[in-house]
Amino acid sequence: MPDPTAVNSMFARIARRYDFANRLLSGGMDVRWRKHLVEAVIKASPDAVIDLATGSGDVAFALSRRLPATAKIIGMDFCRPMLDEAEGKKAAAPEFGNVTFREGDALALPLTDASCDAITIAFGLRNLADRDRGLREMHRVLRPGGTLHILEFSQPHRWFRGLYYFYLRRLLPSIAGWVTGDRPAYDYLNQTIGGFPSRSEISREVQAAGFSQVTARPLTFGIVALHAATKPGGGVS
Ligand SMILES: C[S@@+](CC[C@H](N)C(=O)[O-])C[C@H]1O[C@@H](n2cnc3c(N)ncnc32)[C@H](O)[C@@H]1O
């Protein structure tokens, strides 16, 4: 699993060009994938949402657009320069008054037990140094009946793999290296995507961390997957 110090400093290096690189390298699909995530979250009308590994805050902002102003959204990340990008975007858009950003490690969340209704983590699970510990922390801070939503790269459908892996391994690191000036960061991206477990393995890990009703939905030919799960208890919600 990734070394947290290396992950932190890598995101610190690419923070300023992170959004631009995302849009370019995904052809804008990253925005659509986050919209799917947000649609899933808002179904339960949560009052308190934590967006883990929030990075430059795009999921937190997308949630803010779709939830009432009374809903509290916290974007949390352990990389200060990524949070600085998020804070910069918030300062330019006063409508995001219900979003706050906090520094915090997903493996030791600075949050009390059962303190939130929903947790999101987009393109973050792959970067955690200890996935099981991270998932157990998410379980701890969710209230019973609360929901976890994971958006992450996955394995594309078989017929699409050749083309996709050619792009991921051959084209993407060069394009990203040119755009961000940091090719090693995108070599890391392609390695972690290639080595990430299947949807069924991730579902098993989520269940092993104490969650129930685990579902996995492939998006865009399976390039990414949206997992949802519930912390048991809390009656009917
Ligand atoms: C690929 S970015 C995803 C950012 C954002 N969620 C998005 O959708 O664009 C991954 C983020 O995970 C953060 N991260 C990695 N490990 C973390 C940890 N243990 N605790 C908190 N944040 C972490 C990194 O700092 C980085 O900002």
235 found inside a domain:
no
For residue 86, the enclosing domain spans: 4-230
237 found inside a domain:
no
Distance 105 CA to ligand 1 centre (A): 10
> Are the beta carbons of 151 and 122 closer than 8 angstroms?
yes
Residue count of the chain, please give it: 237
Q: State the pTM of this model.
A: 0.96
61 found inside a domain:
yes
3 state DSSP class of 56? coil
144 found inside a domain:
yes
Can you give the pLDDT at residue 237?
45
Q: Which residue is associated with the tokens 């339960």?
A: 44
Distance 135 CA to ligand 1 centre (A): 14
The CA distance from 204 to 101, in Å, is: 31
Can you give the pLDDT at residue 217?
98
151 found inside a domain:
yes
Can you give the pLDDT at residue 1?
82
Instruction: Give the nearest ligand 1 atom to 22 CA.
Output: 9
Q: Whose CA is nearest to atom 12 of ligand 1?
A: 53
**Number of domains present in the structure of the chain:** 1
Distance 214 CA to ligand 1 centre (A): 22
> Are the beta carbons of 12 and 82 closer than 8 angstroms?
yes
In which order are the strands placed within the sheet that holds 99-103?
Answer: 99-103, 72-77, 48-52, 116-122, 142-153, 224-230, 212-219
User: For position 37, which CATH number holds?
Assistant: 3.40.50.150
8 found inside a domain:
yes
pLDDT by residue for the chain (237 residues), tens only, comes to 889 999 999 999 999 999 998 999 899 999 999 999 999 999 999 999 999 999 999 999 999 999 999 999 999 999 999 999 999 999 999 899 999 999 999 999 999 999 999 999 999 999 999 999 999 999 999 999 999 999 999 999 999 999 999 998 889 888 888 888 888 888 888 888 888 999 999 999 999 999 999 999 999 999 999 999 999 997 644
Q: Whose CA is nearest to atom 4 of ligand 1?
A: 55
Can you give the pLDDT at residue 235?
65
Can you give the pLDDT at residue 234?
79
Closest CA to 152 of 124, 175, 173: 124
194 found inside a domain:
yes
173 found inside a domain:
yes
Distance 235 CA to ligand 1 centre (A): 32
Q: Whose CA is nearest to atom 27 of ligand 1?
A: 55
> Are the beta carbons of 148 and 142 closer than 8 angstroms?
yes
Distance 236 CA to ligand 1 centre (A): 32
Q: Whose CA is nearest to atom 23 of ligand 1?
A: 53
